[in-house]
Amino acid sequence: MTTAIWWARRDLRLADNQALNLALNRADTVIPVFIVDPQLMDGSAPKRETFLRNAIASLADEMRTRGSQLILRQGEPIQELRRLMEETGAQIIIAESDHSPFAKARDNRAAAALPIEFTGGITVHPPESVRKPDGSPYTIFTPFMKFWKALPMAGDPIPAPKSLPAIPELTSIELPAAPPISDFPAVENFAYERLREFFHSSIFDYGEARNRMDIDGTSRLSPYLRFGLISPRVLISAIFRVIEETDNKISKQSCITWLNEIIWREFYFNILDHFPFVLKMSFRENLRSIPWRDMPSDLAAWQNGLTGYPVVDAAMRQLNETGWMHNRARMITASFLTKDLLINWQAGESWFLRQLLDGDPASNNGGWQWAAGTGTDAAPYFRIFNPVLQSQKFDPNGDYVRRWVPELAKLPKNYIHSPWQTPMDVQSQFGIRMGKDYPLPIVDHQFARLRTLQAYKSAKSD
C-alpha cells in the first residue's frame, strides 16, 4: 500500500497534469494538497489572490466529484508537508517544478528535507533542455524559438482522470469565499471553452487583430496559464494540429504568430531560470545607470490612468478594474512610463505584478525589460512609442478609449486620441472641459522623447 502527496502549486488542473499523473501512477492513494503560504498570500496582489481562491475552490469541487478531496493547509510549506506525511504515512511528495528564484529556493529546501520529486509541465520544454550546443542558454528569441520548435514534444497531453482514489479523513482549512471574477471565471473547463472559442475563428485573424485594442482578437488565456488551469502543452499540441490543417497562408501565419507568443513565455521562463538577477537589475550591463526620474506624482498619474494621454489612461484603468490589459496596451503603457516619464521600469514591473491576474515574475519582467530596452533581445532604446500614433493605429475609432475613459466618450474620433487639441467650441459643444473633466498631458511627448534619448545615451557611455 503506497501513498503519495500531490502538492499543487500553480498547476490547478486535472487535465494534462504531470505531477498528479505521476502520483496516481506511483501510489494507490494520492493525497492532493494545496498549502496556503502566508509569504505568498500577503495581500500584495489582491486580484490574483481572488483568482487563486476561486481556482482552488473550483479544483476542490472537481476533485470531490471524482471521489477525492483537495486538502487545504496553511503555513510554512515544508512543515505542513512533513505534518501531512506523518498523518497519512505517505512515502513521497510529487509537485510540478517552478522556476522563479523564490520557488526554486523553497523547492530546494523541500528536496533537502523531504522525499520529493518534481515533474515538468509549467513549460512545454524544461528550461535546462533548451540550450545552445555549447550548453549555454539562449538570450535571443529567434534562435531560441527555432531550437525549441525542433525539439520533439515530450508526449501528448494527459486526459483528466475520470475518478480519483478516496482519501482518509484529514483536516482541511476553510478558505474564505472570494467573489467571482466576471471576465475570467477561475474554472478549468472555462479555459477550454475559451480556447475552443478562440480556435474557432479569432486565431485565423490573430496576425492583425491581436494589435487592435478595440477588438477581442486575443485568446485571453493568460490568467489560466498563470495558475495552470490549462497547460502550455495542451495549447501547443492544439495549435500544432490547427497549423497542420490550415492551408490559407495568412491564416496559417496567424496561427504561427500565436504559437510564437507561447514560445515567448517559455523564453522568459528560460531567462529567469538562468539569469535570476534580472529581477533586481537590467539584463544589459551598459544600461544600468540610466538617470531615472524619481517623480511619485507622475508615477501615481500613470498608475491611476490620469496622464492626459487617453490610450495610456484607458489601458491603466482597464488593468486596475479588471486585472487584465491588452498586450498592445501593455507595450504602450510601458513605453510611456519608461520613455515618456523616464521612470524606472521596476516601478512599472511591480505595479503590473500587483494588478495583473496573469502576473508572473518571468513574463512580467521580460516584458518590462523588453519595453525599457534593457533586457534580452529587447527593443532598441530609441524605439519610443508615440502614444497618439499608437492610439490612432490600433484603436482607430477610439472605442477602446471610450470604453475605459468615459469622460471622453462623447468626443468625436478626430480628437479622441489627443483631446488637448480639441477647440474650445467643440469642447463646449460636447460639454467637456480639458484640464477639468480630463487632465491635460502631464508631459509633452516630443520633449520627453528627446530627454529619454539623452538619458539613455548618457547611461550607455558611462
Partner DNA sequence: TGAAATGTTGGGGCG
Partner DNA sequence: ACGCCCCAACATTTC
Contact residues: DNA, CB under 7 A = 141, 211, 261, 264, 327-328, 331, 370, 379-380, 382-386, 389-390, 393, 445-446, 449, 453, 457
Active-site entry in 6, 345, 351, 404: 345
Q: Clarify whether 324 is annotated catalytic.
A: no
> Shortest distance, CB of residue 345 to DNA, whole angstroms?
15
302 is a catalytic site residue = no
Catalytic residue among 189, 260, 327, 386: 327
Q: Is 264 an annotated catalytic residue?
A: yes
The alpha carbon torsion through 174, 41, 110, 105 (nearest 10 deg) reads: 170
Contact 56, 72 (CB under 8 A): yes
| 104 vs 449, beta carbon nearer DNA | 449
Catalytic choice (49, 87, 117, 261): 261
Please identify, using beta-carbon distances, which residue of 34 and 141 lies nearer to DNA.
Answer: 141
Does residue 189 carry a catalytic annotation?
Answer: no
Let me know if 327 is a catalytic residue. Answer: yes
Instruction: Return the CA Rg of the chain.
Output: 24
Report DSSP state, residue 248: S
Give the nearer residue to DNA in terms of CB position, either 95 or 332: 332
Distance, CA of 35 to CA of 42 (rounded, Å): 14
Whichever of 6 and 148 has its CB closer to DNA, that residue is 148
Among residues 260, 264, 386, 420, which one is catalytic? 264
Closest separation in Å from C-beta 344 to DNA: 20
DSSP track, 206-234: HHHHTT-TTS--S---HHHHHTTSS-HHH
- Name beta bridge partners: 71: 33
Decide whether 317 or 445 has the Cβ nearer to DNA: 445
Kindly report the backbone phi and psi dihedral angles of residue 406, in degrees, each rounded to the nearest multiple of 5, phi listed first: -60, -25
3-state secondary structure 344-397: CHHHHHHHHHHHCCCCCHHHHHHHHHHHHCCCCCCCCCCCCCCHHHHHHHHCCC
Sequence-ordered list of residues with C-beta below 8 angstroms from that of 92, at least 6 positions apart, any chain: 2, 4, 5, 23, 26, 27, 115, 116, 117
Least distance (Å) between residue 318 CB and DNA: 17
Cβ at position 451, least distance to DNA in Å:
11
Question: CA-CA distance, 371 to 394, in Å (whole number)?
Answer: 18
Q: Is 192 or 267 the residue whose CB approaches DNA more closely? A: 267
Contact 17, 25 (CB under 8 A): no
Closer to DNA by CB, 98 or 340: give it.
340
Main-chain dihedrals φ then ψ at residue 273, nearest 5 degrees: -65, -40
Judge whether 6 counts as a catalytic residue: no
Catalytic residue among 49, 117, 197, 292: 292
Least CB distance to DNA at residue 236 (A): 17
Least Å from the CB of residue 446 to DNA: 7
Characterize the bridge pairing of strands 3-8 and 71-74. unpaired
Number of residues in the chain: 462
Location of C-alpha cell 511619485:
296
Minimum Å gap between C-beta 382 and DNA is 4
Which residues are annotated as catalytic? 261, 264, 292, 327, 345, 368
